[in-house]
Structure 1
């Protein structure tokens, strides 16, 4: 059952949407250039070395491209398969730690939580990191220490030092809380460290040999340390940033989340040690990224597997002990979160005409699901309450990809815009493109273009006497002085993007 639900949620219509800016085209293009240059050590983008991330996801996508061809489906397939794998790992762990039913419930909770299934259909690194961290940390909980070090090493090859930082911090805090110092002896740390280094270190050594301090300063200095200490985005200064992200991202299981954590900490059975570890895991990820100055919605994904296990355990326990009051409390919490989502859908439907019908349908489904949850909660039917949530999210996951996202995809993808560009491009003039659009433009056109850092750069280039094409934000064009607007031709405008052409004035 779990495999069926997980496969439908993640694999259905996987290549239906174009790659969405700005992140998906970056990973897809870098993997494509790995194949183009036959260099699987040094990632590149626009033909230049790229030190943003370690190579794991690029490797996986490159393999998918080789087998299925270059396209949206292959770019997202590694994330989808690892998302399914993560759900299976959570199920197997929950079954061994608690009960068969608790494991199944946990796997379904993870599969159908809003952010997990969305990122499972995206060509980004977050699911890959989450999978390897989950493998490592659950291996610790099951006393399978070789697997712990292997998982941690693969996490480091996926996204850098964060892979080992989380493992060390979470396990260390758990040992302190439980006072189980003897576990360090059982872990055979020296042997495990050697295993970890054999897997994690080679790529870093080779990159240093090839690129020297440029790699160290850019990858470790900027993309890890600087991003933690300084905000890359304005939202990075908001300490509460991840509170609404978690509430909406873990929907519809947010309603059970706090109750599950509270019950876990109060538990006095043999499960307490395991439950505390899961709570520490989730809290550590949340606090770490809340402290970091650079924040993105996807960063807290590694806390979803432990939350899923906690909710699976709690729901199973309440079901077995017939704690009917839990159902009503959860239904009330679900109503609050559902109202927030429905308000968002109504807002989008009223501000974006293309979203009106799909937005209304999605909101109606959430309202109906919430009504059924209340009905079955009052009837004290645990199985039906859980089933309604799973079925509703199964429908929503497919509807999101088939109806909701296609309506707004032109605003967040360069695919259709590149088709318009190809109809106008003369084949030899310079092309200048805003930084945000450049990865998608490169992936779909095969042309790197010249990067425009800001609006001032656009103004400077427009006064030059050369024929050139410009791909900029529509607002950038509107902000240009009237004289410059008169000297250029707007070839096409789509959503928030504009294609401009500047003719050469002084012809010889």
Structure 2
């Protein structure tokens, strides 16, 4: 594909957009902090091959995300904006790659610009581009796999298939076997629908398979040689097979879970995506079949898995954005009835008004600029709809969403995110030299920020008054917790040794803590953020009371 001069420009523009407020967004629990701490330990230990957390080897994810964050730490230092840099970069790369791909296949720069803008402003994509997780890197590698595979299959290009397999190898280093299995199944379904023996042979291109092995296998071979069965049990067993067969979050295991995710994730383009699915069905082009196999296939695949997680179907945003491009272009085509563009206008208004409405429930920010931008954007949107200026209407949706969401993250999300982080506990723990315990939960971000060892107290649920209403997941999932843990009885024995101990009780566990066997041993407490802090066997005042 010949690189368009606009592609690098778009990369820079979207990178700036995705980095807004990253310098003031703290690392959150329970997901982001795991990646941040592991990358930090990688830099401090000098071991760049075997991921560690709490000084213990762990096999939750492959190496790629840790390499990317650790490399950023080495170059720029350990900081909040740095830990979020890989997601921002790969988000911008994905948008730029989307533009380049659509422009190449359609031979129209406008189609590429609309499609890439739809992807970049989709609600879930915008959120993940600010995150500390593997999913944005996986989306980029999957996008490249599927686009080069489409070219390879339909143009019988061995070179394109080799490139697709290389990116598949990078995906497997990012997320594991699913980065090969899921695209492989989707491509097999597409080939079957095309009924092409030539495509089937090209799909299993031997040079591509060899390239995949060269990229993906060395790290896995090293990990098995270094850690043996522990690596297989932890990575393939717990984090792949167990996820597929035993629900980590039983309360989310409902059949409609990913349908609800889809409706929200694609905003403000949900209507355009659905319209594109409907109108494209009549034409039945190869690329339409390909996108439907990719998008719907991803949703069906993860719906069959026992564990449900909001970001599992994240990669489906790419094909859905392509279908949304079709839907938006057709809905705004000249001559359409005036109500048809509301397929785009309606969800956009819903999202913008939801942002404004949410500000009344999050009173910590200054929202004057949000109200002004939302008001001007809504008036512009309605004016361009009424005057049938379709390209300006699309422009106001994209630009308005970018500006409004930037204000939302600055004024609304930063204080909210702090509630999911230990940022308010840092001053207290930093000046405390004794043992620190965390009741029936854990804050890995506290370890990441302070370097202080924190021990988890496993709450005795048999003492809780809501024990009959709690949904219990399989005990197999307890293997995920690699930090030091003690039971309530073990903690009381340590308390009897007379050492001064700090106990942190998060807001959601305060009632459980009051019913615990530890409660009779505590008295006064202080508050830090939404947590209660107790000092037991107190000898010195470490916090203001």
**TM-score normalised according to structure 1 size:** 0.90
Q: 1:71 to 1:447 in 2, by over 3 A?
A: same
- Is 2:501 the partner of 1:468? yes
Structure 1 residue aligned with 2:230, among 205, 209, 214?
A: 214
- 1:443-482 equivalences under 5 Å are 443-455=448-460, 459-460=488-489, 461-462=491-492, 464-465=495-496, 466=498, 467-479=500-512, 480-481=514-515
Mapped contact 2:26–2:421 kept (Cα < 8 A): yes
| Count of aligned residue pairs for this structure pair | 493
For 1:191, which of 194, 199, 207 is the aligned residue?
A: 207
Query: Within the alignment, does 1:502 sit opposite 2:499 as a pair?
Result: no
Deviation at 1:194, TM superposition (A): 1.2
Q: Distance in 2 between matches of 1:145 and 1:501?
A: 61
Measured at CA, do residues 482 and 214 of structure 1 come closer, stay the same or move farther in structure 2, by a change above 3 Å? closer
Task: Quote the Cα distance in structure 2 between the aligned partners of 1:178 and 1:483.
Answer: 65
| Bigger mean CA deviation after superposition, 383-392 or 463-472 | 463-472
Whether the aligned pair in 2 keeps the contact of 1:16 and 1:401 (CA below 8 Å) is: no
Contact 1:338 1:367 survives alignment (8 Å) = no
Deviation at 1:106, TM superposition (A): 0.6
Q: In 1, distance between residues paired with 2:188 and 2:114? A: 28
> 1 CA distance for matches of 2:69 and 2:12?
24
Structure 2 residue 94 is matched with structure 1 residue 86 = yes
Quote the offset at 1:339 in angstroms.
5.7
Given that residues 328 and 344 in structure 2 are in contact (C-alpha distance below 8 angstroms), is that contact kept between their aligned partners in structure 1? no
Residues 1:75 and 2:83 are matched in the alignment: yes
Offset of residue 208 of structure 1? 1.1
State the distance in 2 between where 1:416 and 1:335 align. 36
User: Structure 1 residue 492 and structure 2 residue 526: aligned?
Assistant: yes
Q: Deviations over 1:388-434 (max 9, x none)?
A: 111121113321331111222331111221112224x1x1x322124
Check 1:392–1:458 CA distance in 2 against 1; reply closer, same or farther (3 A cut): farther
Deviations 1:255-282, CA, capped at 9 Å, x for gaps: 21100111222215xxx10121011111
1:93 CA displacement? 0.6
Q: What's the counterpart of residue 435 of structure 2?
A: 430
Native 8 Å contact 1:236 1:293 kept in 2: no
Unmatched tracts of structure 1, length 5 or more = none
The residue that corresponds to 2:345 in the other structure is 331
Q: SS at 2:23's partner residue?
A: coil
TM score, norm. by length of structure 2:
0.84
- Secondary structure of the residue aligned to 2:84 is helix
Q: What secondary structure, in the 3-state scheme, does the structure 1 residue paired with 2:145 have?
A: helix
Question: Deviations for 1:356-384, whole angstroms, at most 9, x for unmatched residues?
Answer: x54x8757755664454333223222112
Distance 1:499 1:438, change over 3 A: same
Instruction: State the SS of the aligned residue for 1:246.
Output: helix
Q: Is the 8 A contact 2:169 2:213 kept in 1?
A: yes
Q: Give the match for residue 27 of structure 1.
A: 35
Q: CA deviation at 1:285?
A: 1.2
Shift in Å, 1:476: 3.2
SS at match of 1:293: coil
- Deviation track 1:28-61 (CA, whole Å, cap 9, x = no partner) reads 1101111122111110000001110001000011
Q: How does 1:87-166 map to 2 (within 5 A)?
A: 87-98=95-106, 99-143=108-152, 144-166=160-182
**Cα distance between partner residues in 2 of 1:71 and 1:323:** 51
Change (3 A) 1:364 1:254: farther
Change (3 A) 1:413 1:398: same
Alignment of 1:321-470 (within 5 A): 322-325=335-338, 326-335=340-349, 345=358, 349-350=360-361, 352-354=362-364, 358=367, 362=370, 369-423=377-431, 425=432, 427=433, 429-434=434-439, 436-455=441-460, 459-460=488-489, 461-462=491-492, 464-465=495-496, 466=498, 467-470=500-503
Q: Does the C-alpha gap of structure 1 residues 362 and 237 become closer, same or farther in structure 2, counting only changes over 3 Å? A: farther
Deviation at 1:204, TM superposition (A): 1.2
**Given the alignment of the two structures, is residue 238 of structure 1 paired with residue 219 of structure 2, yes or no?**
no
CA 1:227–1:490 in 2, change beyond 3 Å: closer, same or farther?
farther
The match for 2:542 is none
Please, what is the CA RMSD of the aligned residues?
Answer: 2.5
Aligned residue number for residue 286 of structure 1 = 299
Cα distance in 2 between the residues matched to 1:189 and 1:179: 18
- Higher helix proportion: 1
Which shifted more, 107-116 or 434-443? 434-443
Are the aligned partners of 2:224 and 2:232 in contact in 1 as well (CA < 8 Å)?
Answer: yes
Residues 434 and 50 of structure 1: CA distance in aligned 2, closer, same or farther (over 3 Å): farther
How big is the shift at 1:385? 1.5
Query: Structure 1 residues 264, 363: closer, same or farther in 2, change over 3 A?
Result: farther
Contact 1:10 1:83 in 2 (8 A): yes
SS in 1 for 2:341: helix
Q: Which moved more, 1:492-501 or 1:284-293?
A: 492-501
Distance in 1 (CA, whole Å) between partners of 2:523 and 2:162 is 63
The change in CA–CA distance for 1:4 and 1:42 in structure 2 (over 3 A counts) is closer
Looking at structure 2, the residues matched to 244 and 341 of structure 1 have their Cα atoms a distance apart, in angstroms, of 19
Unaligned runs of 5+ in 2: 1-8, 153-159, 462-485, 540-545
Offset, 1:213: 1.3
Corresponding residue for 1:65?
73
